[in-house]
Amino acid sequence: MAAFLTVVLLVSVSSFHALDIFQCPPSAQDAGQDAHALLVTVASFVVSPARVYLGEEMTFFLNASSDNPGSTVNITIYFDYLLSDGTTVNPYSPVFVTSVTGGPVNITTTYTYDHIGNLTDDEGTYFQVRAFLNDGDGTTTRRSLPAYVVENTAPTLPVSPSSTIRPIYEVPYNVSFVVKDWDSELVTVTWDFGDGTEPALNETIATPAGSYVCQSHTWVVVLEPGRDRDQGYYILFNMSVSFEDSYGHVKFSNHSVNITPPENDYPSVTFSAESMKWSPGVALPFFASAVDDEGDPLTWTFVFNDSVENYLTVVYHTNYTDPATVVWQNVSHTFDTVGDYRVTLYVSDALIPYQVGVHNYSQTIPVSIRENLEPGVLANITMSPVNPVINSTIGYVDIAFSIWAGDPDGDILYLYWDFGDGESAQNQSNGEISGALFIQTHRYSAAGLYNVSVLVDDNRGHEILKYKLISVLTNNGAPRITLASFQLSDGAFARPGTAVNLTITLSDREKDPITLWVDFGDNTSVIRLELTEFSENSTVTAKLSHVYQNSGKFTVVVTYTDWVYGSTHNATLSLTVEVKVPSVSGVRVWDWWDYTSLMLLVAGLGVVVARWMVLGRFRKELDNVGLTLEEYKTITTESKSKRDAALKDVDTQVKQAGLGVASAKKMKAQIREDYARRRKELRERAKAETAREAR
């Protein structure tokens, strides 16, 4: 026997004897005799753990003392003291021998058994371990204890599923066992469901009474297309479940998994042609779609018949899709000759052979092939109103467009309208041979020039295009310049390097944003301004400053627009500015011409003085009515601008509204008369106030 032990001495040990399997133990009878009163007292003799599996280590603890403090206590422990009959001493028992001198006995030793116990009781197989102690005086004390060494047992399955289980397709199924282990160990359960999914794991403490384990699983099933349970079709998997305890004992449980698939529905199909009346030599589109509840692959078979025989068969296959997905398989075919034809479509979701049983759906379309005539389209596009004008109050105008069209073959006509502003519409006929009036009403929100077109298509190769160029106007008032003035360094001209200040005032009745461009004519960059800050009287002012570096006469071009369609909404004004250096004269002797010039200058100065005096008097008259000369000029300028604008409005009415020439002349005369009257009234009022002040 192999033996292993470890001795731990807690006090000084006078001698130590290694384990000796050849030392013969005392007989049970000898061991039980005491010559006189015991001199060695055993306080405790225990083993831990009290029960082990084969191959596990056991630790023995012995505590004792002698009534003779100076004596030596000899200790002998037999680990397999009795044979299997329970009475015969084992002459080959492993033994532990040691001695302790001069103190209490505290011994710890270990031993590992290489076979299960040779004695048996209700708790299992065990060894009887016996310890003998004496103090050298011939007196021996003995103690015995059982050391249970048992063999680990594999788990068992008192309750398990049947050898064949039948889960419902795509429904979770609970597989359960009762696992029992006499050793009450941790058991690892591994579930291989046989469908390629990752194995599942459970852990449970399996008791002698049994422990319940369960796993829910939905088997991954790939159905074969077009297969039905009514044909005896089912899916089979092999499930294996293993139960392994801590000591490597494995119990397997194998089962067949039989899954009956659901009923496989046949595909639903729609089949149509672009038209059942068509022209020879022109490709006719056929539109085929199908929906299969299972998403099976589909086989499409098109059979073309010329009323005599099937002259063409074309087969297509489409792959798996998501369940209940619409799948299209469109084809085109050209019929070369006039005649009556039949086109039949078969659609099946079954395996090879593809066209099988109730899963093969068919539908036939009759097609008449005849020479096709061109549609008739009368005249051109008409519109109402004829001269559309956008009302700026509501911001739009509605125009009704119409055209008359028919088809001598009774073909359905498709009319595609393009309104020229990015919008479109469509009409469709009912196959009227005599024709019908097709009307589309469209709303325009912006004035402009639009190309309106309509394409008439019989869908059999004939297309007729009609178009109409229309002008959509607006009653939005155009912007106009009411003031454009320079402020120059030398009055009538500017010197090079000095600032030229330009003030421009514009009016717009609707206060539309105005874009203004100013080109100062000296090859510098054009200035662009966005004018939006209008006054209460609908005017807006731009002030610009520019420096000319060189002398010369420059044309300043002012361009402006309010971005509204119409010829008057985009205008240009040209102004001239002179830039020069003033000339300086030298000293010379005067001649007669110089004196003549001097006299003319004096006369001119007299005229200027007289004008100044008159102007001073006029300023005084204006001052009496609360006006400055600049305000008077502004009033007369605005009055003149209003007069000119009113005259232009009359010209516009003559061109657009058909105003008569005589009426126009009368209106213009009235406008000029009103302007002269208002100016005269202002002068007379100023004079009257001056005369009243003088009195």
CATH match of 480-579 with 2.60.40.10: yes
587 band by pLDDT with thresholds 50, 70 and 90 = low
Q: Which pair of tokens denotes residue 442? A: 């469209």
Contact (CB, 8 A) for 465 and 453:
yes
Which residue did the predictor score with more confidence, 692 or 170? Answer: 170
pLDDT tens, position by position, 172-204: 999 999 999 888 889 999 999 999 999 999 999
pLDDT tens, position by position, 26-64: 654 444 434 344 478 898 999 999 988 888 999 999 999
User: DSSP character for 654?
Assistant: I
Give the angle 365-367-370 at the CA atoms, nearest 5°. Answer: 175
Greatest extent of the chain over all pairs of C-alpha atoms, in Å: 185
User: DSSP character for 263?
Assistant: P
CA gap 62, 131 in Å, rounded: 9
Q: Which pair of tokens denotes residue 360? A: 């093969």
Task: Establish whether domains 156-259 and 268-369 are of one fold.
Answer: yes
Which residue did the predictor score with more confidence, 638 or 395? Answer: 395
Contact (CB, 8 A) for 335 and 370:
no
Question: Which pLDDT value is given to residue 189?
Answer: 95
Homologous superfamily, domain 268-369: C2 domain (2.60.40.150)
Question: Which pLDDT value is given to residue 638?
Answer: 76
The overall average pLDDT reported for the chain is: 85
Assess whether pLDDT exceeds 90 at residue 238. Answer: yes
pLDDT tens, position by position, 336-388: 999 999 999 999 987 666 666 667 788 999 999 988 888 999 888 999 999 99
pLDDT tens, position by position, 646-686: 788 778 777 776 667 777 777 778 888 877 887 777 777 76
CA gap 316, 327 in Å, rounded: 12
Residue 277 to residues 77, 364, 370, 405, 504, Cα–Cα distance (Å) = 115, 15, 7, 19, 70
pLDDT tens, position by position, 281-331: 989 999 999 999 888 899 999 999 999 999 999 999 999 899 999 999 999
Given strand 156-159, what is the order of strands in its sheet? Answer: 156-159, 173-180, 211-217
Assess whether pLDDT exceeds 90 at residue 243. Answer: yes
Contact (CB, 8 A) for 158 and 190:
no
pLDDT tens, position by position, 200-210: 999 999 888 88
pLDDT tens, position by position, 450-471: 999 999 998 878 899 999 999 9
Give the mean model confidence (pLDDT) for residues 8-19. 33
Q: What count of Cα atoms within 13 Å lies in the side-chain half-sphere of residue 482? A: 25
Contact (CB, 8 A) for 78 and 25:
yes
Question: Which pLDDT value is given to residue 32?
Answer: 41
Assess whether pLDDT exceeds 80 at residue 430. Answer: yes
Q: What count of Cα atoms within 13 Å lies in the side-chain half-sphere of residue 324? A: 0
CA gap 662, 643 in Å, rounded: 19
CATH match of 156-259 with 2.60.40.10: yes
CA gap 289, 695 in Å, rounded: 107
The SS3 of residue 548 is coil
Question: Which pLDDT value is given to residue 627?
Answer: 66
CATH match of 376-474 with 2.60.40.3880: yes
pLDDT tens, position by position, 572-586: 999 999 999 887 655
pLDDT tens, position by position, 118-166: 999 988 899 999 999 988 766 789 999 999 998 888 899 999 999 999 9
Strands 397-406, 119-121: pairing kind:
unpaired
Contact (CB, 8 A) for 130 and 123:
no
CA gap 47, 109 in Å, rounded: 10
Contact (CB, 8 A) for 274 and 459:
yes
Q: Quickly count helices (H) and strands (E) in the chain.
A: 4, 43
Portion of the chain with pLDDT greater than 70, in percent: 87
Give residue limits of the domains in the chain: 5-150, 156-259, 268-369, 376-474, 480-579, 615-694
Residue 106 to residues 57, 71, 99, Cα–Cα distance (Å) = 20, 15, 11
Which residue did the predictor score with more confidence, 507 or 638? Answer: 507
Architecture in CATH of 5-150: Sandwich (2.60)
